């Protein structure tokens, strides 16, 4: 069987979907030495993503990601490849180009919160998702929550959707010596026990509420741990930095971008808590990463977060309830016994997810769809 996987996105943006592709490929190679795989790249991409396996190869494409004519021009490029299966990890499949088309749908944020996207993103996703769901031969959903959303909001047939959970990078499962972690903290001029947020700075992540809760903690509970925001600037992020300035928190809130997996693992290990106040998540990878590193998690009870965090974390029903967030963060930071219990439960919860499981379930889709 000849399987094609769309690997163009990492050239354009190294976000969560790109990480999904880059971790899935070696996990598939470890399981499957029989089927032939072609990983399609942007012709401009100097990096190569296929693992060093005899049945994996690279092919370059001219069609850019998210182009208005992408469905048709990509199809034309794929026809000559004689693909049995083509996997589109970024929601939208080509119009044709393979006997069977599989898509991965990560979330339906653009339907629930269209105001949180740029006009360009709304046009690309919201304008095509209904067609994509109907056209695909099968759909992989990152979570049971996303699967439910597809059925309820887009009337996708339940038998056409399989939940395949993602996993954290192996970097987060490593044990790092205290001296190594301390060296990273020294490089960033950070103490241990800080409050951590990880994710793209965009409205859906609700970072402004976290900043307001942090301000309340400093004012009312005398918490002096810094707040560290790790993630690249996405879109519509001005409110975040305006809130920091308005509340006079510039000296206490740090923004770090371009942090790789190993350094981020050090930060999780040293943090007092990870806070995820999102309005919606299709998976919530930072929660899983944090639990692997022994960092307690408090998150909103929205989207996929309850199934990813499970019994290991604290879940809050209202993402906009600033006093509730401040109380939960303060309690976890102050209660040593609670932290020990949450860390132990987090390790157990994180062990349920692995790229081996993700790849095995994905390969099953390729073979039976």
Q: What does the DSSP assignment read for 75-99?
A: HHHHGGG-EEEEEETTSPPPSSSEE
Burial class (CB in 10 A: 0-12, 13-18, 19+), 320: middle
Which residue do the tokens 């182009």 mark?
67
90: tokens are 């970024």
- Of 326, 324, 327, 300, the C-alpha closest to 313 is 300
| 106 vs 110: CA distance, rounded Å | 11
Interior/surface letters 47-64, b for 16+ CB within 10 angstroms, e for the rest = eebbbeeebbeebebebb
d(CA 140, CA 163): 6
Retrieve residue 263's tokens. Answer: 């350094």
| Among the listed residues 2, 100, 15, the one whose alpha carbon sits nearest the alpha carbon of residue 282 | 15
Torsion of CA 190, 195, 196, 197, to 10 degrees: -130
Count CB neighbours of 294 within 10 A. Answer: 19
DSSP string, 283-309: S-HHHHHHHHTT--EEEES-TTHHHHH
Place of tokens 């190294």: 14
Domains of the chain (ranges; CATH) run 2-167+354-368 (3.40.50.2000), 170-350 (3.40.50.2000)
Q: Which one, of 291, 298, 300, 296, lies nearest residue 353 by Cα?
A: 291
Give me the pLDDT at residue 126, please. 72
Total-model pTM: 0.93
| Residue 117 confidence (pLDDT) | 74
Q: What is the predicted pLDDT for the residue at 185?
A: 98
Q: How many CB atoms lie within 10 A of CB 67?
A: 12
Chunked into runs of 10 residues, the chain (369 residues) has average pLDDT values of 98 88 98 98 97 98 93 96 97 96 94 81 81 96 97 96 97 96 98 97 95 97 95 91 97 96 97 97 94 98 96 98 98 97 98 98 92
107 within 8 A of 17, measured Cβ to Cβ: no
> Looking at residue 369, what is its pLDDT?
59
Distance of CA 352 to the CA centre of its chain: 17
* 23 to 169, 195, 363: CA distances (angstroms): 7, 28, 14
**Residue appearing with tokens 């600037």:** 233
Question: How far, CA to CA in Å, does 14 sit from each of 19, 20, 259, 303?
Answer: 7, 10, 12, 23
Mean pLDDT, rounded, of the chain: 95
Q: State residue 125's pLDDT score.
A: 79
SS3 assignment, position 365: helix
């Amino acid at each position: 069987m000849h399987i094609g996987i769309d690997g163009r996105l990492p050239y354009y943006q190294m976000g969560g979907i790109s990480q999904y592709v880059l971790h899935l490929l070696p996990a598939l190679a470890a399981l499957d030495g029989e089927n032939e795989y072609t990983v399609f790249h942007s012709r401009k991409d100097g990096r190569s993503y296929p693992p060093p396996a005899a049945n994996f190869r690279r092919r370059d494409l001219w069609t850019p990601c998210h182009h208005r004519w992408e469905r048709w021009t990509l199809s034309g490029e794929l026809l000559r490849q004689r693909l049995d299966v083509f996997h589109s990890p970024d929601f939208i499949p080509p119009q044709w180009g393979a006997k069977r088309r599989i898509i991965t749908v990560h979330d339906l944020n653009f339907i629930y919160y269209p105001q949180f996207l740029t006009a360009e993103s709304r046009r690309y996703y919201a304008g095509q998702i209904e067609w994509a769901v109907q056209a695909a031969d099968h759909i992989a959903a990152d979570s049971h929550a996303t699967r439910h959303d597809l059925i309820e909001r887009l009337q996708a047939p339940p038998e056409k959707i399989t939940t395949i959970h993602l996993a954290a990078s192996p970097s987060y499962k490593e044990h790092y010596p205290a001296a190594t972690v301390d060296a990273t903290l020294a490089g960033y001029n950070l103490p241990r026990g800080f409050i951590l947020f990880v994710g793209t700075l965009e409205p859906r992540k609700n970072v402004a509420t976290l900043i307001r809760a942090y301000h309340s903690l400093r004012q009312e509970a005398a918490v002096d741990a810094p707040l560290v925001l790790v993630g690249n600037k996405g879109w519509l992020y001005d409110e975040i930095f305006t809130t920091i300035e308005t509340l006079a928190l510039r000296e206490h809130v740090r923004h770090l971008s371009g942090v790789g997996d190993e350094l981020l693992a050090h930060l999780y290990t040293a943090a007092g808590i990870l806070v995820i106040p999102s309005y919606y998540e299709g998976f919530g990878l930072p929660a899983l990463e944090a639990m692997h590193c022994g960092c307690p998690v408090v998150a909103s009870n929205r989207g996929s977060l309850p199934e990813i965090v499970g019994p290991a974390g604290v879940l809050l029903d209202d993402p906009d309830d600033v006093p509730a967030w401040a109380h939960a963060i303060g309690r976890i930071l102050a209660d040593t016994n609670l932290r020990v219990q949450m860390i132990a439960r987090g390790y157990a919860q994180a062990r349920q997810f692995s790229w081996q499981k993700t790849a095995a379930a994905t390969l099953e889709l390729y073979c039976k769809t």
